[in-house]
């Protein structure tokens, strides 16, 4: 009887011991899983913080919603055309340029743009002057004298504002403008007509852009 009790006691003790071991193992496993989850959550949190910081930096360093450019840039004689600035802003936004970087680029290219524009305009004026000198109606060898006839019409009917406009834009060198003034000059003074033939003489006027302009607008302040 005592042996049976001892056996039962031993079995009970062994059972309790095994349960204690199982409980301890279960607790260790739970702690390990919790630690792993904590590490994973920390990694996710760190990655989210890095992404957030990167996004904030990109938002600060990228293109603004609207550029505010200084159209009177250094080394450029005149303000840039608003349409040119708008087109440049669209390109800068596509490139995601910050405000300061975009303005620096504009400061560099603006003088070049204006120089090319001025050169192109000057070439157009010179071409108009050359076409006028070669015109079949009032050009050729009698161009100087016929230009005097055209100038008489401008002096008679044109005011200082018109003369300034024609001089500043170069339109006064355009063949059709000179043709109009030439015919008007003929109408008010028939004896001024010398045609496009040899033998007619007039004051000598340089046959270039400045010469034509001076001949037409020399007395615009009078």
Which pLDDT tens digit goes with each residue over 86-128? Answer: 999 999 999 999 999 999 998 888 888 888 888 999 999 999 9
pLDDT in tens, 158-212: 999 999 999 989 999 999 999 999 999 999 876 544 444 443 344 444 445 556 5
What would you measure as the largest C-alpha separation in the chain, in angstroms? 161
How far is CA 93 from its chain centroid? 11
CB contact burial 81-114 (16+ within 10 A = b; e otherwise): eeebbeebbeebbeeebeeeebbeebeeebeebb
Mean pLDDT, range 132-158, rounded to an integer? 93
Q: How far apart are CA 143 and CA 179, in angstroms?
A: 11
Q: How far apart are CA 8 and CA 13, in angstroms?
A: 9
Q: Which pLDDT does position 200 carry in this prediction? A: 38
Angle in degrees, 0-180, between the axes of helices 143-157 and 160-169, rounded to the nearest 10: 140
Distances in Å between the Cα of 167 and the Cα atoms of 47, 130, 144, 170, 208 are 68, 16, 18, 5, 13
Mean pLDDT, range 50-69, rounded to an integer? 68
Angle in degrees, 0-180, between the axes of helices 99-133 and 175-188, rounded to the nearest 10: 40
Supply angle C-alpha 107, 108, 114, rounded to 5.
Answer: 85
DSSP state of 211: H
Contact between 83 and 113 under an 8 Å Cβ cutoff? The reply is no
């Amino acid at each position: 009887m005592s042996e049976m009790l001892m056996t039962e006691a031993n079995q009970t003790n062994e059972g309790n011991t095994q349960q204690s071991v199982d409980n301890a193992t279960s607790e260790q496993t739970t702690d390990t899983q919790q630690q792993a989850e904590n590490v994973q959550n920390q990694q996710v949190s760190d990655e989210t913080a890095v992404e957030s910081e990167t996004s904030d930096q990109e938002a600060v360093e990228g293109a603004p919603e609207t550029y505010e450019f200084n159209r009177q840039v250094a080394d450029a004689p005149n303000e840039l055309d608003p349409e040119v600035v708008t087109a440049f802003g669209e390109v800068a936004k596509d490139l995601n340029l910050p405000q300061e970087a975009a303005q620096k680029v504009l400061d560099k290219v603006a003088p070049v743009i204006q120089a090319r524009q001025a050169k192109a305009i000057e070439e157009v004026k010179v071409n108009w002057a050359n076409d006028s000198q070669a015109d079949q109606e009032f050009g050729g060898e009698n161009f100087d004298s016929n230009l005097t006839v055209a100038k008489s019409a401008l002096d008679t009917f044109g005011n200082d504002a018109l003369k300034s406009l024609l001089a500043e834009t170069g339109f006064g060198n355009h063949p059709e403008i000179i043709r109009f003034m030439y015919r008007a000059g003929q109408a008010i003074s028939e004896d001024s007509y010398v045609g496009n033939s040899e033998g007619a003489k007039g004051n000598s006027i340089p046959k270039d852009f400045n010469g034509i302009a001076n001949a037409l607008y020399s007395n615009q302040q009078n």
